[in-house]
């Protein structure tokens, strides 16, 4: 059974060519605003990495990367298509010698073969990955929230631009300021709901939300969501969600955080029972204070386009592969898949 849901009243506001032009406008504008807000420099990024470096992001620890070997390299060197660049970026900050409160951003393209496909999930992932050098004094929640607010200002600029160019998109959805709440406060507010139900409830009420401190066990004994133990500090991270008016649901557009220092790394690897990772080169570089302290995250390009263009399916703003049932439903509902 297909997991997609196209509302009966849904009708695209833009045709195929208008959509492609608008996608370019969104990406160009947001990328420029993000770089200005955070003092970031664009760099080139890899599509694949050697597995034994420990630089690939293993996401929630369950999803397996696409992998292969090369005749030009040692046959024992397994190569992985990246899941994200969370760890690579921090290593790149060190190699590029970025100074405090400056950093990098890049276009990240990935394949997540284990992704469950639906309205907002695709095997093809495109996002802006960014990372910035910080100091020990910056490692607190108020600094993290200040960076979130700068990113949110860039989102406000793009929404204003899109509505001005395409008034048929309707009125703005985003409020002037983003609402912050911890995952524990959210559980306390909606104790009888699942994490996804809580996200929908708070995002529908506030329209733009940053849920803080994701990854550790809550008072209920459950986690709000899984997070890899070796890049975000679970006490200093968060997800940005906006209200998807078309689907009447929360839409996560960014996961970000202040990265682990050596104390947080050891603590979280111990909690996750994967302390063997401490022997990997990347993890040793954190333990030995080789890599700079940093903050960073990923911002979904297609999800942003989906939100700003009021689209019902992510396939309307990116070219990927879909099952036949999804394609059939979209054709019947007048949804144009790229």
Catalytic residues: 57, 112, 127, 239, 252, 255
Q: Which residue has the tokens 């690939």?
A: 56
Q: Which residue has the tokens 């008016």?
A: 245
233 vs 222: CA distance, rounded Å: 18
In contact, 139 and 261? CB cutoff 8 Å? yes
> What size, in residues, is the chain?
338
285, burial (CB in 10 Å: exposed 0-12, middle 13-18, buried 19+)? middle
Strands 67-68 and 40-42, bridge-based pairing: unpaired
Long-range CB contact pairs, 321-327, < 8 A, 24+? 321/123, 321/124, 322/117, 323/2, 323/117, 325/1, 325/2, 326/2, 326/4, 326/117
86 vs 109: CA distance, rounded Å: 13
């Amino acid at each position: 059974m297909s997991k997609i849901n196209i509302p009966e009243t849904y009708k695209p506001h833009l045709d195929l060519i208008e959509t492609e032009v608008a996608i370019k406008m969104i990406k160009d504008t947001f990328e420029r605003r993000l770089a200005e807000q955070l003092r970031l420099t664009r760099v080139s990024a890899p599509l694949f990495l050697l597995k034994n470096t420990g630089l690939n992001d293993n996401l929630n620890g369950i999803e397996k990367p696409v992998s292969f070997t090369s005749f030009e390299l040692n046959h024992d060197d397994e190569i992985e298509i990246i899941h994200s660049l969370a760890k690579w970026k921090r290593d790149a900050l060190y190699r590029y010698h970025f100074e405090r409160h400056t950093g990098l951003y890049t276009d990240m393209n990935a394949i997540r073969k284990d992704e469950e496909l639906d309205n907002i999930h695709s095997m093809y992932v495109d996002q802006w990955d960014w990372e910035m050098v910080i100091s020990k004094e910056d490692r607190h929640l108020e600094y993290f929230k200040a960076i979130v607010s700068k990113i949110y200002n860039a989102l406000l600029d793009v929404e204003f631009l899109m509505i001005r160019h395409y008034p048929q998109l309707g009125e703005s959805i985003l409020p002037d300021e983003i609402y912050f709440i911890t995952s524990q406060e959210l559980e306390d507010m909606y104790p009888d709901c699942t994490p996804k139900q809580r996200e929908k409830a708070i995002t529908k009420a506030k329209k733009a939300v940053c849920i803080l401190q994701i990854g550790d066990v809550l008072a209920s004994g459950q986690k709000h969501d899984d997070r890899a133990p070796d890049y975000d500090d679970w006490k200093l991270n968060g997800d940005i969600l906006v209200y998807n008016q078309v689907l009447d649901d929360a839409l996560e557009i960014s996961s970000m955080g202040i990265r682990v220092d050596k104390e947080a790394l050891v603590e979280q690897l111990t909690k996750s029972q994967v302390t063997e990772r401490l022997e990997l080169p990347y993890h040793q570089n954190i333990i030995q204070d080789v890599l700079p302290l940093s903050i960073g995250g990923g911002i979904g390009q297609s999800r942003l386009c989906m939100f700003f263009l009021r689209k019902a399916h992510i396939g309307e703003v990116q070219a990927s592969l879909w099952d036949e049932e999804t394609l059939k439903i979209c054709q019947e509902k007048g949804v144009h898949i790229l």
